[in-house]
Amino acid sequence: MEQLGTVTIIGVGLIGGSIGMALRSERLAARVVGVGRNAEALRQAVDRGLIDEATTVPEEGVRSAEVVLVCTPVDRIPGDVCRAAAAAPGDALIMDAGSTKRKIVEAVEADPSGRDSFVGAHPIAGSERSGAANARAGLLRGRACVLTPTGRTPADLVRRARAFWANLGARVVEMSPGDHDEVLAYTSHLPHAVAAALALSVPAPWQSLAAGALRDGTRVAAADTDLWTAIFRDNRGPLLKALGSFQDRVAALKYAVMTDDADAIRDWWEQARKLRTLLEERQSPPGGMD
Amino acid sequence: MEQLGTVTIIGVGLIGGSIGMALRSERLAARVVGVGRNAEALRQAVDRGLIDEATTVPEEGVRSAEVVLVCTPVDRIPGDVCRAAAAAPGDALIMDAGSTKRKIVEAVEADPSGRDSFVGAHPIAGSERSGAANARAGLLRGRACVLTPTGRTPADLVRRARAFWANLGARVVEMSPGDHDEVLAYTSHLPHAVAAALALSVPAPWQSLAAGALRDGTRVAAADTDLWTAIFRDNRGPLLKALGSFQDRVAALKYAVMTDDADAIRDWWEQARKLRTLLEERQSPPGGMD
């Protein structure tokens, strides 16, 4: 595999920092430049080896970039991508790492400088512990990364994007931005909403009598408020559909319990148990990573 | 601490097997007898050191017991307790380990032989992986164990029950059977119902694009179907109330997303995040166990 020249990461948090760390430790790029708003945080990211150098001025950071990765919250991504596209070399590949895709891709494609250099990307990895302090080089290894090229995306950019994520150890999947958002509403945004609703339902004084079910079921509710507010707003339609499906399942159990229908409760649980068992098998391929 | 004589465990699964293992490894009992329906499984439990000896006949197993622990599914506990009480020495302490308490305690107290020897107990520990094969001696260490004595329970029995669980490393809490069931509906039964509803909501073909949020959020949906059908039926009233509270929280988010009310979404998430942070602090006391 050929080494990349300069890779510029805009937003050196959990995802951006982990990608920087992986690019450096595996020598996939000659130079990794970090762009952020907080100079002190950037200095620490350099000290910790997440990036080689840093700047608070995006135009400076992307000036000689071969690849630019925008790893900011979803509501800032379109602006950050277009600003980078306007200042980066004409042949730079610009990608994001946002949890939603349709609105981002639409906004970038409406911009003349964004359109010809952008491939939407979503590496499906993360943690309720955000921030560069939790970055680790192996975060993406074995994970799926969804690319969302459109009819307008130059084929050569898609090839370069695919190679970039594959070199980081991710399993690359291509989907339309709309399909991505519908699937992720169910596989990620709904589980986050459910975890938070569960955390809200248990009176605080009773928490001391909770066991693993409540702890695991609410883990991701510890995630950043602004980040998730932006994701929920950005993916409203699909999220509402997913919430509706979920509400139907809860209502079905409630009715079965209310009518003390043993067979209905058993069938409901058994179907859930089978789906959960399938999920466990899919998430743990033989010899695969966590 | 004084060593117990014979402790008899009826139902040598995850909980019963783990207690047997702990009693033996810490020499808390002179002899641990296991009672079950499957002779081959009992033989394996002896081989694996969970119990010293075994029988498929409860009356034989409890004949010289100082303590009897009934670790069968909640719908079988009252019958198993009364049968043991009728055959055990008059001064034996009989306890269960069921996830619900009100119906069990009422049924046992309605029985003349059960009434004077029983203390309801619920060690709050478990796993979606049931069965003796997953037993481990440390399962109860640092966990809460709720005792539910009533006005009819002899005080001396309660003292012995408290000492028994404390010696296993559990933190003993006393509550009425009804209070126990209301709290556990929220801290355990609801999280199980929510995990299963979440597993049911995600179409199987999309599971490959799931990350940690879905996996963690559905983990306990892998638990045994009959076990959870019995718990949901046994604790209908409190569970329906908990499901109602939860439905209200989901509906509040849905309305905030539908109306694209950024402040409402942010406040909703932020309150959940704070409760989840509090839970994490409570569940991880300094120097405490997992």
**Residue that is last in its domain, among A140, A175, A210:** A175
pLDDT by residue (tens digit) across B8-39? 999 999 999 999 999 999 999 999 999 999 99
Are B197 and A265 in contact (CB < 8 Å)? no
B264 touches chain A (CB under 8 A): no
Of the candidates A207, A187, A200, the residue with the CA atom closest to the CA atom of residue A282: A187
CB within 8 Å of chain B, chain A residues 16-45: none
**Residue that is last in its domain, among A175, A207, A234:** A175
Mean pLDDT of B182-198: 98
Whether residues B99 and B225 share a domain: the answer is: no
pLDDT by residue (tens digit) across A234-275? 999 999 999 999 999 999 999 999 999 999 999 999 999 999
Helix, coil or strand: residue A28: coil
pLDDT at B196: 98
The number of folded domains in chain B is 2
Whether residues A66 and A143 share a domain: the answer is: yes
Distances (CA, A) of B45 to B9, B77, B81, B141: 12, 21, 22, 21
pLDDT at B285: 47
- Kindly list the residues from chain A whose CB atom is less than 8 angstroms away from the CB atom of residue B197: 194, 246, 249-250, 253, 272
CA distance A148 to B231: 45
Residue A225 lies in a domain: yes
Whether residues B49 and B94 share a domain: the answer is: yes
Q: Looking at the partner chain, which of A220, A233, A251 has a beta carbon nearest the beta carbon of B213?
A: A220
CA distance A266 to B225: 6
Are A273 and B221 in contact (CB < 8 Å)? yes
Residue A289 lies in a domain: no
CB within 8 Å of chain B, chain A residues 65-104: none
Residue A290 lies in a domain: no
Q: Give the pLDDT band (50/70/90) at residue A147.
A: very high
On whether the CB atoms of residues B264 and B249 are closer than 8 A, the answer is no
Residue B15 lies in a domain: yes
pLDDT at B128: 74
Mean pLDDT of B236-249: 98
Residue B289 lies in a domain: no
CA distance A147 to B203: 21
Whether residues A138 and A264 share a domain: the answer is: no
Whether residues A65 and A164 share a domain: the answer is: yes
Work out the end-to-end distance of chain B between its first and last CA atoms, rounded to an integer number of angstroms: 25
Q: Supply the mean pLDDT for chain B.
A: 94
Q: Give the pLDDT band (50/70/90) at residue B287.
A: very low
Mean pLDDT of B204-219: 94
Mean pLDDT of A44-61: 97
CA distance B42 to B14: 13
pLDDT at B286: 42
Phi and psi of A96, rounded to 5°? -115, -175
Whether residues A170 and A184 share a domain: the answer is: no
Of the candidates B145, B174, B169, the residue with the CA atom closest to the CA atom of residue B28: B169
pLDDT at A1: 66
| Residue B283 or residue B208, greater confidence | B208
Are B223 and A266 in contact (CB < 8 Å)? no
pLDDT at A285: 47
CA distance B77 to B148: 15
Res. B127: pLDDT tops 80: no
B203 touches chain A (CB under 8 A): yes
Helical (H) or strand (E) element with A93:
strand A93-96
On whether the CB atoms of residues B172 and B57 are closer than 8 A, the answer is no
Mean pLDDT of A59-72: 98
Give A188's contacts (C-beta < 8 A, 6+ positions apart).
A99, A124, B210, B211, B213, B214
pLDDT at B63: 98
Residue A288 lies in a domain: no
Helix, coil or strand: residue B172: strand
- Kindly list the residues from chain B whose CB atom is less than 8 angstroms away from the CB atom of residue A124: 209-211
Distances (CA, A) of A117 to A20, A157, A158, B272: 21, 7, 10, 39
Q: Chain B residue with minimal CA distance to A283?
A: B208
Mean pLDDT of B243-249: 98
Whether residues B274 and B246 share a domain: the answer is: yes
Give A167's contacts (C-beta < 8 A, 6+ positions apart).
A1, A26, A28
Residue B288 lies in a domain: no
Residue A114 lies in a domain: yes
**Residue that is last in its domain, among B118, B149, B175:** B175
For chain B, list the strands marked E by DSSP.
4-10, 29-35, 53-55, 65-70, 93-96, 118-119, 121-123, 144-147, 171-174
Of the candidates A109, A110, A122, A123, the residue with the CA atom closest to the CA atom of residue A154: A109
Report the complex ipTM. 0.92
| Residue B197 or residue B125, greater confidence | B197
Q: Give the pLDDT band (50/70/90) at residue B228.
A: very high
Res. A114: pLDDT tops 50: yes
Whether residues A164 and A67 share a domain: the answer is: yes
CATH number at residue A81: 3.40.50.720
Mean pLDDT of A68-84: 97
Whether residues A138 and A191 share a domain: the answer is: no
Q: Looking at the partner chain, which of A209, A265, A283 has a beta carbon nearest the beta carbon of B229?
A: A265
Q: Looking at the partner chain, which of A211, A229, A242 has a beta carbon nearest the beta carbon of B201?
A: A242
Whether residues A108 and A200 share a domain: the answer is: no
CA distance B185 to B233: 12
The encoded tokens of residue B99 equal: 């996830």
Of the candidates A273, A245, A205, A242, the residue with the CA atom closest to the CA atom of residue B193: A273
The encoded tokens of residue A15 equal: 């995802």
Whether residues A168 and A36 share a domain: the answer is: yes
Q: Give the pLDDT band (50/70/90) at residue B288.
A: very low
User: Chain B: nearest CA to A91, how far in angstroms?
Assistant: 31
pLDDT by residue (tens digit) across A179-214? 999 999 999 999 999 999 999 999 999 999 998 999
pLDDT at A286: 42
Range of the domain at A223: 180-283
Question: What b-and-e string marks burial along A205-240, b requiring 16 or more CB atoms within 10 Å of the CB?
Answer: eebbbbbbbbbbbbbbbbbbbebbbbbbbbbbebbe
CATH number at residue B242: 1.10.3660.10
Q: How far is CA B155 from the centre of its chain?
A: 23
Whether residues B103 and B223 share a domain: the answer is: no
pLDDT by residue (tens digit) across B84-120? 999 999 999 999 999 999 999 999 999 988 889 999 9
